[in-house]
């Protein structure tokens, strides 16, 4: 297969893209592009399933060796990226593929895999702020995340689809995204 069955899910912190992905995975089988990151492992993470975790030095070595299809340095100083080998793996998958990346990654991915469909999950900045507050984020981190979130809104034209994740309407958002995926399979 080529990239026609790859669906990019992207949105700023607090938009609910992880919740949407989890909801989609409950409704049907998907493969997933597993991103490589330098961030710390969280209790809910499953290394090799949610992310591939590497040191900053290993990641930077991968950049030098051109192993990454796309990568970005995110809001907390951690690298995130998709490797060429991971993209080749999912291109062969018989299942539709979900790929969570930030807007910078979408810019790169759409150049190299124009047939992939990109879906922007968004919420108004004040809703993002409230969701980040509920997570227990510090004011400083919320400020940084909202500043970084501007990149999605400034580049929203790169996305094939836009879906607002309204407060209290997660199931509705999941259904809208699933309908987009079904329409494009």
Domains of the chain by start residue, with CATH: 3-183 (3.40.50.300)
Q: What is the pLDDT of residues 74-130, one digit of tens each?
A: 767 899 999 999 999 999 999 999 999 989 889 888 888 899 999 999 999 999 999
Q: Which of 3, 66, 11 is nearest to 31 (CA)?
A: 3
Would the pTM of this model clear 0.85, i.e. be above it?
Answer: yes
Residue 11 has a pLDDT of 97
Q: What is the pLDDT of residues 36-80, one digit of tens each?
A: 999 999 888 888 888 999 999 999 999 999 999 889 887 678 999
Alpha carbon distance 80, 38 (integer Å): 7
Contacts of residue 59, defined as CB under 8 A and 6 or more positions apart, other chains included, come to 36, 37, 38, 71, 79, 81
The DSSP output letter for 102 is: -
Alpha carbon distance 133, 88 (integer Å): 38
Residue 30 has a pLDDT of 97
């Amino acid at each position: 297969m080529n990239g026609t069955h790859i669906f990019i899910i992207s949105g700023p912190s607090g938009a609910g893209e992880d919740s949407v992905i989890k909801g989609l995975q409950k409704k049907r089988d998907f493969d997933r592009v597993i991103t490589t990151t330098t961030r710390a492992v969280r209790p809910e993470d499953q290394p090799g399933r949610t992310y591939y975790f590497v040191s900053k030095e290993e990641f930077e070595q991968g950049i030098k060796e051109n192993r990454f299809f796309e990568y970005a340095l995110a809001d907390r100083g951690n690298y995130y990226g998709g490797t060429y080998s991971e993209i080749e793996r999912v291109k062969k998958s018989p299942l539709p593929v979900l790929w969570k990346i930030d807007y910078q990654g979408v810019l790169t991915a759409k150049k190299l895999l124009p047939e992939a469909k990109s879906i922007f999950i968004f919420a108004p900045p004040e809703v993002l702020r409230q969701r980040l507050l509920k997570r227990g984020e510090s004011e400083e981190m919320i400020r940084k995340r909202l500043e970084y979130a501007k990149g999605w809104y400034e580049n929203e034209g790169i996305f094939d689809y836009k879906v607002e994740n309204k407060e209290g309407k997660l199931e509705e958002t999941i259904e809208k995204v699933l309908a987009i995926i079904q329409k494009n399979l």
